[in-house]
Chain A
Amino acid sequence: MKALAGLALVASCASSPGNQVEADAPIGMGDGGGCDINLIFDPAVPFKGDHVKVTAQAMTAGVLAYAWQLDGAPNTSYEAADHSAIGFDVPEAVSHTASVDITPSSGCSHQQATINVTTNGAVVMYRMRVIPPANLAPPQESLIQVHGGQTSATRPFLIDPGAIVTGSVRSGGTPIPAYLKWIPLVGPAFGLVTSNGSFTTHAQLQMHTVVVIPQDNTLAPRALPWLPSNSGTFTVDAGTAATGTVLDRSGNPLANAQVQLEQLGVPSTIATTAANGTFTVRTAFMTNQVITALITPPATSGLAKLSASALFDLAIPLNVSFATSPAVCDLAGTPVKRGGANQGLAAVTIVGTLPGSAGTVTNGAMVTTATGSVHLNAVASAGGTLPATLVPRAALSAVIQLAAQGDLAVTTFDASACAAQAFDAPARMTATGVVHGPDAATTPLSDTRIEATPIGALAMANLIPVQTTSDANGTFSLLLASGAHYALHFFDPSGRGSPRDFADQTAAGVPATVQLAAAIAITGNVSVQNDPNAIQNASVQLLCASCTGVAASQPIAQAATDITGNYRVAVPDPGP
């Protein structure tokens, strides 16, 4: 691969010595305010073995003198007659920092920038999320590239302090308690809760969508635009009523079902169906956007949760009907056992997904098929048998929790024929292994963290992870639910190796030896524009760039800035 000749990285406008701008041009890095020196690297993304030219563009009149330093040492390898540029070879994939002092100056005389020399290796993208102390700035995010084959790379992060927004949430002129989710055009969303309707927060100077969810269930949640020029007052009201009915699989009105609509992350109010199956929710939705209807039947009904999405017209009633099939089956009397002995008071969660259509949502002439998922709770009697527990006749799973929280077991069963069942809850299994570092397979790593996150049936019951730490011998021990599946994540907080993941493992499948791969140390300084103070205790997380759901917020690596505002994390080397 050749270097990107002709491209240039512009590191502009450091307002004070020490201000750094990274080479891989993270989103959000930019004007430091008030300075008039640009450092231009050519090529902008140099590879190992390249020659790099860095030019200082000073917006100052007159004949200027340039004093260059490269990596802290004076450098006179001029590549311009007026000394406005220097050049240097980059034989290794490391970072280099160039700085220049210019005299005479107008305003500022110093500029500094760091460029990361990469290998020709693979490239991986990360979202770098920085959450500074709340009184300084809002959370921010940028995309960074990490090139394989390096041992380290520098990624400074310049925080936009944004603006302080003082505002309120009102209904009819009265402040009301609410939750506000601020979603910027670029960057991470953040939330705040106000108990009296008033709030103060930091927001970036860009357009936001603010989702306001009142604590009062008679008021419709609403998404409102916010611009930096706007006030911080958000007004909500009862919105528009959306009505409908819910019928059970026999076509009878279903009482006590929970109904909620949702559009683009904005929920409606929650309604409970009346005895005649009718409901009314309050909405503040946009027209011509997909709406999802979520119907949770009463736990005693044995029906699945329904979910249906369509361009519903809320001026027309939504009529929900459960499919006649599958029928329900009563698990009453089903024993819950361990080692052949009934387990009194065992908590059982029945989970599963129904195949095909589980119901329909009729909206005028439009009939939309609903999917069905099962999530039902029951507690065994003191004698260890289930009370009356209706479930759909389908292949399902039982997540069984015995006395102690975390003492779980997962078992599958088929209720299609409504045959008698017996739930066996084997004791948890201890999976052990040893974690090794990347340099010497024989060297175990102590103090590495291991997290087992439920997936599959267990995840449908709950997402509570199992976590542990390797001991001085690198040995770890995980107590995992029998029959459950987990996603395993091994990581070293000290960065001696890179995180390693195993996608789908049972207790029996946990690897006995886990060698962490070589890591690339990402270091840098977090600073706030126009603020000379070091930013301590800012959270720095590297997140998957393409993940969704919870995985999008699971850090691959994380650190906090130290007293000087510096951080260090380790990420996997994507290799050559």
Chain B
Amino acid sequence: MNRLILIPACLSGCFYTDPINQRPSLDIHQVDPGSPVYRNTTLGFSTIPMDPDGDSVAVTWRAYACTGIDCDPVEFDSGADTTFTVLTPKVRTTGGVFDTLHIVLEARDVHGATAKPVQTLDLNVIDAPPTLALRKEARNTYVVGTDIGLYAKVGDADDGYAALDPLTWVVHGPPTMATYTLTELPIAQDSADLAHHQFGKTFRPAGLGDWNIEVTATDPSGVMASQELPVSVVADHPPCLAQWDPTATPMAGTTLPMTDPTLFQVLVVADDLDPFPSTPSTLYGTAEFHWSIVPPSGTRQSLTGVTGSGVALDPDSYTPGDIVELRVEIQDRNHTAVNCPATDLTCSVISDQGCLQRLSWRVEVR
């Protein structure tokens, strides 16, 4: 760029003047995160240097830990880019705690001109409270008397989770003052997340109603974080036969012709505790099946060795025209009695007649 400026003289000729190099200017912008600022956290800053002459500008960042206006003599971090990211220290370089983060930003153009005044930014640094997140095992319902996994994930940005006091777990029961147990539940840690630690408890409520589990984390400075985890505990629901094959005969007097060997099977049992097929989970068990058969002209016999979901019958084992009744009843771990009269082909032990615990096939051998 040509910096020569020709100025016509008024009286005796012309003279030249050297170009005037102007200072750059800039500001500090804190980009992440906003206030308050905690120790041992990452902060981001940026600047957009401007030079009226269009010169390139070099910037220098310095970050100091200070107590009030007493700062460390040496910066704990520095940078030379338009963006500056610092990890705030836990303590001063001299070892003491600090309460102020002092950021200094200098700029100099290629001609040596510096920005005036030097830009500074003081940020108040406070003690970060612990972080706490709670979770309970995901289920459709939480059934009284069953184990419920509770999980707490804790961290502390400046003190670290290891410095925290042991978590306190307080269980607030429903008005019935039901009893409960709360025991340790070992869980694996996330190796990709070294900043947090997880704790587990097994909670077994003995009463119905709304429970509340309050968990508190406390750091060495006494700063606390509390979270609550509501758990609505309900009564056990009997299992329901949801799918079966072949079609059953719920009406007295009707029969199902059997012309070929046939597998009579329960395909799906819906239950809050013990569904079938059982899911690959430690949360649930599997439904129990109780089979019985009434052979032609015979009386009901329990099939004691049969505990699975299906029984096959072969028409060749019978005479055409024979009537065989095959029955299955289901129970979950609480063994709610299927107490309808034995003559009932189906049975529901609850008011929802669509939820059956008994199913019968009246088979006519063909």
Residues of A within 8 A of B (CB): 131, 133, 139, 177, 179, 190-195, 213, 215, 221, 258, 260, 262, 265, 267, 270, 294, 296, 299, 305, 373, 375, 404-406, 447, 449, 451, 453, 459-469, 479, 493-496, 537-539, 541, 549-550, 553-554, 558-560, 562-563, 568
Category for how many chain B residues contact A: 35 or more
Instruction: Say if the beta carbon of B312 comes within 8 Å of chain A.
Output: yes
Q: In the assembled complex, how far is the CB of residue A451 from the closest CB belonging to chain B, in whole angstroms? A: 6
Contacts A465-B306, A550-B312; A193 near B317 (Cβ below 8 A): no
Which residues of B are found within 8 Å of A493, using beta-carbon distances?
277-278, 280, 286
- Beyond the given A375-B317, A463-B317, could you list 13 further A-B residue pairs with CB under 8 A, ordered by the A residue number? A260-B320, A262-B366, A270-B320, A294-B320, A405-B302, A405-B304, A461-B317, A463-B313, A464-B311, A465-B312, A467-B307, A560-B267, A563-B140
Asked whether, in the complex, the Cβ of B254 is within 8 Å of the Cβ of A213, the reply is no
- CB nearest to B270 among chain A residues: A537
Q: In the assembled complex, how far is the CB of residue B366 from the closest CB belonging to chain A, in whole angstroms? A: 5
Asked whether, in the complex, the Cβ of A296 is within 8 Å of the Cβ of B256, the reply is no
Asked whether, in the complex, the Cβ of A539 is within 8 Å of the Cβ of B247, the reply is no
Asked whether, in the complex, the Cβ of B312 is within 8 Å of the Cβ of A213, the reply is no
Bound-state CA distance A333–B284 (Å) is: 54
- CB nearest to A481 among chain B residues: B305
What 1/0 mask marks residues of chain B from 298 to 317 whose CB sits below 8 Å from any chain A CB?
Answer: 00011111111011111011
Q: 12 A-B pairs, CB-CB below 8 angstroms? A: A190-B245, A193-B248, A262-B366, A267-B259, A299-B319, A462-B313, A465-B305, A494-B281, A554-B310, A558-B267, A560-B242, A563-B140
Q: In the assembled complex, how far is the CB of residue B327 from the closest CB belonging to chain A, in whole angstroms? A: 13
Which residues of A are found within 8 Å of B305, using beta-carbon distances?
406, 464-467, 479
- CB nearest to A462 among chain B residues: B317
What 1/0 mask marks residues of chain B from 266 to 287 whose CB sits below 8 Å from any chain A CB?
Answer: 0110100001111111000010
Asked whether, in the complex, the Cβ of A560 is within 8 Å of the Cβ of B306, the reply is no
Asked whether, in the complex, the Cβ of A213 is within 8 Å of the Cβ of B257, the reply is yes
Asked whether, in the complex, the Cβ of B251 is within 8 Å of the Cβ of A193, the reply is yes
Bound-state CA distance A260–B253 (Å) is: 22
Asked whether, in the complex, the Cβ of B255 is within 8 Å of the Cβ of A179, the reply is yes
Complex partner residue of A449 from B247, B259, B303, B308, CB under 8 angstroms: B308
Which residues of B are found within 8 Å of A463, using beta-carbon distances?
261, 311-314, 317
Bound-state CA distance A260–B365 (Å) is: 11
The 4 closest A-B pairs by CB, nearest first: A539-B267, A463-B312, A195-B251, A467-B308
Bound-state CA distance A468–B307 (Å) is: 7
Which residues of B are found within 8 Å of A215, using beta-carbon distances?
253-255
Bound-state CA distance A447–B276 (Å) is: 13
Asked whether, in the complex, the Cβ of A539 is within 8 Å of the Cβ of B251, the reply is no
> In B317-352, which residues have CB < 8 Å from any A CB?
317-321
- CB nearest to B362 among chain A residues: A193
- CB nearest to A449 among chain B residues: B308
- CB nearest to B242 among chain A residues: A537
Contacts A213-B366, A267-B366, A405-B303; A460 near B317 (Cβ below 8 A): yes
Q: In the assembled complex, how far is the CB of residue A104 from the closest CB belonging to chain B, in whole angstroms? A: 35
Which residues of B are found within 8 Å of A558, using beta-carbon distances?
267, 277
Which residues of B are found within 8 Å of A465, using beta-carbon distances?
305-306, 308, 311-312
Bound-state CA distance A493–B316 (Å) is: 32
Which residues of B are found within 8 Å of A563, using beta-carbon distances?
140
Bound-state CA distance A494–B254 (Å) is: 38
Bound-state CA distance A467–B310 (Å) is: 10
Instruction: Say if the beta carbon of B178 comes within 8 Å of chain A.
Output: no
- CB nearest to A560 among chain B residues: B268
Instruction: Say if the beta carbon of B249 comes within 8 Å of chain A.
Output: yes
Asked whether, in the complex, the Cβ of B243 is within 8 Å of the Cβ of A539, the reply is yes
Which residues of B are found within 8 Å of A221, using beta-carbon distances?
257
Bound-state CA distance A447–B262 (Å) is: 27
Asked whether, in the complex, the Cβ of B267 is within 8 Å of the Cβ of A190, the reply is no
Asked whether, in the complex, the Cβ of A260 is within 8 Å of the Cβ of B286, the reply is no
Instruction: Say if the beta carbon of B184 comes within 8 Å of chain A.
Output: no
What 1/0 mask marks residues of chain B from 212 to 238 whose CB sits below 8 Å from any chain A CB?
Answer: 000000000000000000000000000
- CB nearest to A132 among chain B residues: B243
Contacts A541-B267, A560-B267; A469 near B307 (Cβ below 8 A): yes
Which residues of A are found within 8 Å of B186, using beta-carbon distances?
none
What 1/0 mask marks residues of chain B from 154 to 171 whose CB sits below 8 Å from any chain A CB?
Answer: 000000000000000000
Bound-state CA distance A481–B254 (Å) is: 34
Instruction: Say if the beta carbon of B210 comes within 8 Å of chain A.
Output: no
Asked whether, in the complex, the Cβ of B312 is within 8 Å of the Cβ of A131, the reply is no
- CB nearest to A480 among chain B residues: B305
Asked whether, in the complex, the Cβ of B366 is within 8 Å of the Cβ of A562, the reply is no
Bound-state CA distance A533–B248 (Å) is: 27
